[in-house]
A and B are shown apart, each in its own frame.
Chain A
Amino acid sequence: MNAPVAFPHLEVKGLTKRFGGLVAVKDIGLSVKSGEILGLIGPNGSGKSTVMKLIMGIERPDAGSVRIKGVEVAGWPSHRIARLGAGMVFQHSRPLYRQTVLENITLALLPDKLLRLFPDPAIEARARTIAERVGLSHALARRPSTLPFADLRKMEIAKAIARDPQVLLVDEPFAGLTSKETAAFSELITELRDDGRAVLLVDHNVKSVAVLVDRVFAMYVGERIAEGTAEEVMRDETVRRVYLGGRIETAARPESSFGDATPFLEVEKVNVFYGKAQALENVSIHVHHGEFVSVVGLNGAGKTSLFNAISGLTPYAGEIWREGRPLRGLSPAAIARGGIAQCPESRELFGEMTVRENLDLGGQHLEQAEREEQANWLFNLFPILAQRQGQMAGTLSGGEQQMLTIARALMMKPDLLILDEPTLGLAPVILEQISKALERLRQTTPITVLLGEQNVTFALPHADRVYVLEHARIVWEGDPNRFAAEAETGYL
């Protein structure tokens, strides 16, 4: 056994990456020693995945240094970084579907040479050893498409460790796995660390990686906000504020105050699969006429899948009713025309059209006068849009685009407005403006709202009722006032 190395296997200093005007990663510095697991955590859009891509050479840093085993690799192409001794376990990858699992692992062991024309039995033997190590011996001759999801992840780990990298990057190791599978994976990653590797785990929250990591590095909108043991980071004030917000004033109306016999929307035991990964598992929720319901959950919990199922955009098992009538069988367009308007996470504005044209498209089915009136009401709700009427939607700031997305959906005069992560990537001051608009909407109109959020501070104040979605399942339902006491610890 080698003695532990004195210098860190992975050392990052002053790392910065800009995408256009957006600073995705700002002056990040971290180091991972041999035999250590560092958890890099942050909410959606915090830049943690970009940091990993910068280390692996998939993206090129604008500034800063990345040292692997003491060698400066910033700006290198990823194949050179890989050969120096870094490996990455991808969350989503496209394996070779026509080849067997063994061939897929063999691939990762091949030298990067053009004249390797004959297979080498020694390489194949080594691939078998690696497969055994990750627990895939039973599936060597199968094709990836026939494997269960957990085995596919094992194959990805096998590929990443094939060249025996001293620095191992793992992207969301437990996404889509059951708790039993998660335990097996934790054990495997711990073993890999105990071999003397430096391991960097990227995930959304501390909780999911707490048992595994030696240290945690927390990021928010591209910057470092905390660093330390899992307990220290969970206690950190900034981290708590980012994930949970400060003290939250709620104004929930009791569920009994909605006197409808049949709720406006009922989702019953809905299951959604993407290939082998289960995005929703027996999810049941209901929304009353005029109610404001928030579904909170981290990125990947299944919020978007739930909304897409309701809007008819994704196939599902189970039932979804609108005012007692099933929505199944209706096209997405029919569901939208019927008054269920979704504001997608990705906004989907017409960037080459003006603000006004975007709004008019939303209100196409309205009479001229009615459209005018609705637009004026919306300009009242979002005054900034009135000033921007003639501007191209693509040139608006992120916050203005989000307001326009909501306004365009409201032009349809929907009965139910579905908002999917409206806060994504927005600065706190903008959140406040959108938050105020939602409050006015709630108080002055009979509209029903279903909001999906990972930002609890934003999701709770308006909500009458809250659902917590975690790993494809609803794990909590209740009054927002009880959220802090009952669900908060599980969320961080």
Chain B
Amino acid sequence: MSPGSLFVARVLSSRTVWISLAVVLAASTLPLYVSGYILGLLTVAYYFGVFSMAWDLLFGFANEVNFGPTFLIGLGAYTAGILDSLYQPPIAICIVAGAMAAVVGGVVLALPALRVRGPYFGLTTLVAVLILQNFVVVAAGLTGGEIGLTVPDVISIDDKVNYWIALGFMTASGAILFGLARSPVGLILQASGQDAVQAGALGFNVVKHKLAAFITSAFFSGLAGALLMFYLTSATPGTFVDVTIGVQVIIGAVLGGRRTILGAAIGAVFLIAMGETLRPLGDLATFIVSAIALVVVLLFPSGLLGLLTRTREAA
């Protein structure tokens, strides 16, 4: 048996994979019986799920706190959007360009940031968000500034199609990120995050592995940002770049469970669903959602999914 087929066999024997598959299958039938409003909500939530999963790869595995997920998301969304509004190439090209822009931006940011120690990596990423936000406002001619950028094209005007695209994209991203995290490189990445000195003494180039993780995270964030851009058809700094959006991505990941990848998606979807359900309460809704997040983070630091897996391991 080749290493590849052995790995596939091992994956197929994992309970997590089967449960996730069942959940995805059930979710794919939703358009048959729920309203377009709920579909729209979940479509956005699924893209946030990808944001959170990509963030967990950095936080949970590389042990680097990226306070600027929206730097990568915003780069992807705005690059794709600007390209489309200027030249109208095929949408696929815009989306790929968005993902690439996030990767390039991510590398430019991570290369110097990964060399500084302690909290400075996080601070650097936070500053990057502020710079991007200011750039969007200053270069209003190109980006639409505070008023927003509107793209002339959409992938589809059908709610159901958009929903399935988002679900499929989240499933594929989740499978790739989860697989990566469980693979031998994922193991090296975890070791680099946990004890960088020892990982170096074991022969691993810690900066290389963390940079690769950052690139992967940037790629999925940018891709998801670009796709969301073409779903929403407009972007403002407040919807794609603002620090509060980044905070939501982070809380989603932490709420779902650090170092689980899949938990991050659950957390993000849960956050958006809760926020929407409680919307009639007005400002109180944000307060309640934040309070729930705080309680989970304080009482169950391993998050919703972490809690489940731990009980199973103990059994």
B203 at interface, CB cutoff 8 A: yes
Taking A110-B184, A114-B208 as known contacts, 19 extra A-B pairs with beta carbons closer than 8 A to each other, sorted by chain A number, are A57-B200, A58-B197, A77-B205, A79-B203, A79-B204, A82-B203, A94-B194, A94-B195, A96-B194, A106-B187, A112-B203, A116-B185, A117-B7, A118-B6, A119-B6, A120-B3, A121-B3, A160-B202, A162-B202
Q: How far is the CA of A108 from the CA of B202 in the complex (A)?
A: 6
A90 in contact with B7 given A114-B185, A116-B184 (CB within 8 Å): no
Q: How far is the CA of A118 from the CA of B185 in the complex (A)?
A: 9
A137 at interface, CB cutoff 8 A: no
Query: Among the interface residues A78, A87, A121, A163, which one has the most CB atoms of the partner chain B within 10 A?
Result: A78
Q: How far is the CA of A230 from the CA of B197 in the complex (A)?
A: 31
A contact residues around B7 at 8 Å (CB): 117-119
B contact residues around A95 at 8 Å (CB): 194-195
B contact residues around A444 at 8 Å (CB): none
A contact residues around B180 at 8 Å (CB): 117
A244 at interface, CB cutoff 8 A: no
B89 at interface, CB cutoff 8 A: no
Asked if residues B6 and A121 are in contact (CB atoms below 8 Å), the reply is yes
- Checking A58, A83, A115, A119 against B3 with a beta-carbon cut-off of 8 angstroms, the contacting residue is A119
Asked if residues A77 and B200 are in contact (CB atoms below 8 Å), the reply is yes
A257 at interface, CB cutoff 8 A: no
A107 in contact with B191 given A112-B203, A118-B184, A120-B3 (CB within 8 Å): yes
The 5 closest A-B pairs by CB, nearest first: A82-B203, A78-B200, A118-B7, A118-B3, A94-B195
Q: How far is the CA of A57 from the CA of B204 in the complex (A)?
A: 13
Closest residue on chain B to residue A98 by CB atoms: B259
B44 at interface, CB cutoff 8 A: no
Asked if residues A118 and B200 are in contact (CB atoms below 8 Å), the reply is no
B43 at interface, CB cutoff 8 A: no
B72 at interface, CB cutoff 8 A: no
Q: Shortest Cβ distance from B137 into chain A, in angstroms?
A: 37
Q: How far is the CA of A108 from the CA of B201 in the complex (A)?
A: 10
Query: Among the interface residues A57, A58, A118, which one has the most CB atoms of the partner chain B within 10 A?
Result: A118
Segment 160-212 of A: residues with Cβ below 8 Å from B: 160, 162-163
The contact string, 1 if C-beta is below 8 Å from chain B, for chain A 75-100, is: 00111001100011010011110110
A103 at interface, CB cutoff 8 A: yes
Asked if residues B185 and A94 are in contact (CB atoms below 8 Å), the reply is no
Closest residue on chain B to residue A106 by CB atoms: B187
Query: Among the interface residues B201, B202, B205, B206, which one has the most CB atoms of the partner chain A within 10 A?
Result: B201
Some 10 contacts from A to B, beta carbons below 8 A apart, are A58-B197, A79-B206, A87-B201, A96-B190, A98-B259, A99-B187, A106-B187, A107-B188, A110-B188, A112-B208
Segment 169-185 of B: residues with Cβ below 8 Å from A: 179-180, 183-185
A58 in contact with B200 given A114-B208, A117-B179 (CB within 8 Å): yes
B contact residues around A93 at 8 Å (CB): 195, 198
B209 at interface, CB cutoff 8 A: yes
Q: How far is the CA of A95 from the CA of B198 in the complex (A)?
A: 9
A468 at interface, CB cutoff 8 A: no
The contact string, 1 if C-beta is below 8 Å from chain A, for chain B 47-65, is: 0000000000000000000
Asked if residues A110 and B205 are in contact (CB atoms below 8 Å), the reply is no
The contact string, 1 if C-beta is below 8 Å from chain A, for chain B 207-227, is: 011001000000000000000
Q: How far is the CA of A116 from the CA of B188 in the complex (A)?
A: 10
A26 at interface, CB cutoff 8 A: no
B contact residues around A371 at 8 Å (CB): none
Q: How far is the CA of A99 from the CA of B194 in the complex (A)?
A: 12
Closest residue on chain B to residue A87 by CB atoms: B201
Closest residue on chain A to residue B183 by CB atoms: A117
Asked if residues A90 and B198 are in contact (CB atoms below 8 Å), the reply is yes
Asked if residues A58 and B205 are in contact (CB atoms below 8 Å), the reply is no
Q: How far is the CA of A162 from the CA of B201 in the complex (A)?
A: 12
A contact residues around B212 at 8 Å (CB): 114
B contact residues around A12 at 8 Å (CB): none
A159 at interface, CB cutoff 8 A: yes
Closest residue on chain B to residue A103 by CB atoms: B187
B contact residues around A56 at 8 Å (CB): 201
Asked if residues B198 and A79 are in contact (CB atoms below 8 Å), the reply is no
Asked if residues B187 and A96 are in contact (CB atoms below 8 Å), the reply is yes
User: Could you tell me the dominant secondary structure of chain A's interface residues?
Assistant: loop
B4 at interface, CB cutoff 8 A: yes
A117 in contact with B185 given A79-B205, A94-B194 (CB within 8 Å): yes
A contact residues around B208 at 8 Å (CB): 112, 114
Closest residue on chain A to residue B306 by CB atoms: A98
Q: How far is the CA of A94 from the CA of B199 in the complex (A)?
A: 10
Segment 1-48 of B: residues with Cβ below 8 Å from A: 3-4, 6-7, 10
A112 in contact with B187 given A77-B205, A79-B206, A82-B200 (CB within 8 Å): no
B contact residues around A103 at 8 Å (CB): 187
Closest residue on chain A to residue B211 by CB atoms: A114
Asked if residues B4 and A118 are in contact (CB atoms below 8 Å), the reply is yes
The contact string, 1 if C-beta is below 8 Å from chain A, for chain B 127-147, is: 000000000000000000000
A82 in contact with B202 given A96-B194, A121-B6 (CB within 8 Å): yes
Q: How far is the CA of A99 from the CA of B61 in the complex (A)?
A: 13
Asked if residues B184 and A94 are in contact (CB atoms below 8 Å), the reply is no
A78 in contact with B6 given A99-B187, A117-B180 (CB within 8 Å): no
The contact string, 1 if C-beta is below 8 Å from chain A, for chain B 228-241, is: 00000000000000
- Checking B184, B203, B205 against A163 with a beta-carbon cut-off of 8 angstroms, the contacting residue is B203
Asked if residues A110 and B187 are in contact (CB atoms below 8 Å), the reply is yes
B contact residues around A99 at 8 Å (CB): 187, 190
Q: How far is the CA of A357 from the CA of B195 in the complex (A)?
A: 39
A83 in contact with B185 given A58-B197, A94-B198 (CB within 8 Å): no
B contact residues around A163 at 8 Å (CB): 202-203
The contact string, 1 if C-beta is below 8 Å from chain B, for chain A 50-74, is: 0000001110000000000000000
A contact residues around B10 at 8 Å (CB): 119
A contact residues around B190 at 8 Å (CB): 96, 98-99
B contact residues around A116 at 8 Å (CB): 183-185
Closest residue on chain A to residue B184 by CB atoms: A116
- Checking A83, A98, A117, A118 against B203 with a beta-carbon cut-off of 8 angstroms, the contacting residue is A83
B contact residues around A106 at 8 Å (CB): 184, 187
B contact residues around A121 at 8 Å (CB): 3, 6
Q: How far is the CA of A440 from the CA of B163 in the complex (A)?
A: 83
Q: Shortest Cβ distance from B134 into chain A, in angstroms?
A: 34
Q: How far is the CA of A113 from the CA of B202 in the complex (A)?
A: 13
Q: How far is the CA of A120 from the CA of B205 in the complex (A)?
A: 20
The contact string, 1 if C-beta is below 8 Å from chain B, for chain A 126-155, is: 000000000000000000000000000000
Q: How far is the CA of A82 from the CA of B199 in the complex (A)?
A: 10
Q: Shortest Cβ distance from A82 into chain B, in angstroms?
A: 4
Q: How far is the CA of A113 from the CA of B185 in the complex (A)?
A: 7
Q: Shortest Cβ distance from A221 into chain B, in angstroms?
A: 25
Closest residue on chain A to residue B195 by CB atoms: A94
Q: How far is the CA of A335 from the CA of B32 in the complex (A)?
A: 69
Q: How far is the CA of A258 from the CA of B173 in the complex (A)?
A: 76
